[in-house]
Amino acid sequence: MPQNPFPAAQAASGHTQRRRAVWLVTALAFLVIMTSMGTRLTIGLFVQPLMDDKGLSIAATSMALAIGQLSWGLFQPIFGAWADKGHPFAALATRMLCIAAGQLLTIMADGFWLLTLA
């Protein structure tokens, strides 16, 4: 079996691909954290506009938002374990899609249950 005359070049190529993958996962993690933390920390600013737009009471709006906050907390260990098992890109991409779907569903929600689902 012929030996590779350039083993350092092959190792460098593998190292470059790994470095790109690490930076991609880091960039996606940044986007997920930025989006989710921005949404979670500014939710109080949107209570009154949501009440006005959806025609819900303060209790219904607050309950829907509280359930959403709780679900974020409950799903964090699941996504973390998934990422730790060697699938960080899939976990981050799925989380980004969930956040985007939740934002779109919030816009389209016309009642308590859809707002809670969002």
10-51: per-residue pLDDT in tens?
555 667 888 888 898 888 888 878 877 877 788 888 889 888
* Structural domain count, the chain: 1
Please give the Cα distance from 4 to 24 (Å, whole number). Answer: 30
* Residue-level pLDDT at 78: 93
DSSP string, 56-76: --HHHHHHHHHHHHHHHHHHH
Give the range of the structural domain holding residue 99, as residue numbers without chain letter. 25-117
The DSSP 8-state label assigned to residue 37 in this structure reads H
Does 7 score more than 60 pLDDT? no
54-110: per-residue pLDDT in tens?
888 999 988 988 898 888 889 989 998 998 998 888 888 898 898 889 889 888 888
Please report whether residue 54 resides in a domain. yes
Please report whether residue 12 resides in a domain. no
Which of these, 81, 79, 51, lies nearest to 63 by C-alpha position?
51
Please report whether residue 7 resides in a domain. no
Please report whether residue 36 resides in a domain. yes
